[in-house]
Amino acid sequence: MAVGIFDSGVGGLTVLDAVQERLPDVPFVYFGDHAHAPYGVRTDDDIYNLTTQAVERLWDAGCDLVILACNTASAAALRRMQESWIPKEKRVLGVFVPLIEALTERQWGDNSPPREVDVKHVALFATPATVRSRAFQRELAFRAIGVDVEAQACGGVVDAIEDGDLILADALVRSHVDALTRKMPKPDAAILGCTHYPLMAETFQDALGENVKVFSQANLVAESLADYLGRRPEMIGAGTESLFLTTGDPKRVSRNATQFLRKEITFTAAYP
C-alpha cells in the first residue's frame, strides 16, 4: 500500500516529512535522483527523461500513485507525462495544485471563471527551469485575475543545500530576495516554488519581512494527498515497506538527509 515521492534531491524530504505525519499508516517510497541534481538548470527533455525513469522505478517498488515533490519536474515534465505516457491505472501528481488552491482559496475542481483574489502581488522563488516554464503563472491564470507575479530564478541555492553548505545557501537566498524586491518592493505573498526552499524558510521570511505571507508546499501537499486518498483509496499501491532510494552515494545522501530533517534516515542505491 505504498505511495511514491520523487525529487531530484533532498528537498522532497520536506514533503515526505509532512505526509508521513499526516498519513502515519501509509508506507512511502522516496526516490532522490541525487546523481543528476539539480534539475533546475537542465533542459526540458532532460528533466522529462530523468523524471520518467524515476517514476518507473517507483512503480516497480509497488507505488501506483507517485507525487512529484519537485517543482521543476512538475513544471517541465508533468503535463507531457499525463498527456502521452502514464498508463490509466497509474497516477502521477505534481505540487502546484495544492499551492494554487491555497493562494486563490478555491478548490481545483472549481471550474468557474477566474476571479479576483485577496493577493495582488506575488513573489515566486523557483529554479531557473520552473521560472522558464511559466507553469505557475499559467495555472494561476486559470483561477485568478489581477494577480501580478514577479519570478526570481534562484541559481545556486539547491546546489548549496545538496552540498550541506547552509551558510552559502543563506547568503544566496538573501541575494535573490534582494534582487526580487528591487523589481517588486512590496509583495503580499511569496511562493517557495522549490521543495528544497522550505529548508531555508526562516531565511526567506527574515529577508522578506514579517508582513509577507510565505507559502511553503509541504503541509499543503500533505493535506491534499490525504484528501485524494480518502476519495481514491484504490490508488494506494501494493508496496508494503517504506524505502529511501537514491541514484547518488547512499552514505553521503543519508548523512545530508539526517542533518536536514534532524532524524536518522538511511538511503539505499536505487539501482543495485
Find the catalytic residue in 3, 54, 70, 77. Answer: 70
Model confidence, pTM = 0.86
% the chain with pLDDT above 70: 98
Average pLDDT over residues 171-190: 97
3-state helix, strand, coil in the chain (%, to 5): 50, 20, 35
Query: Could you report the per-residue pLDDT of 124-173, keeping only the tens digit for each?
Result: 999 998 999 998 998 898 889 999 999 999 999 999 988 889 999 999 99
Active site residue 154: no
Quote the distance between the C-alpha of residue 74 and its chain's center: 8
Query: Could you report the per-residue pLDDT of 43-88, keeping only the tens digit for each?
Result: 999 999 999 999 999 999 999 999 999 989 998 999 999 999 999 9
Find the catalytic residue in 5, 172, 194, 222. Answer: 194
Separation of alpha carbons 196 and 212, rounded Å = 20
Average pLDDT over residues 107-135: 87
Q: With CA atoms as reference, report the closest residue to 260 among 191, 200, 178.
A: 200
For residue 208, pLDDT beyond 70? yes
- Mean pLDDT for the chain? 91
Active site residue 63: no
For residue 109, pLDDT beyond 70? no
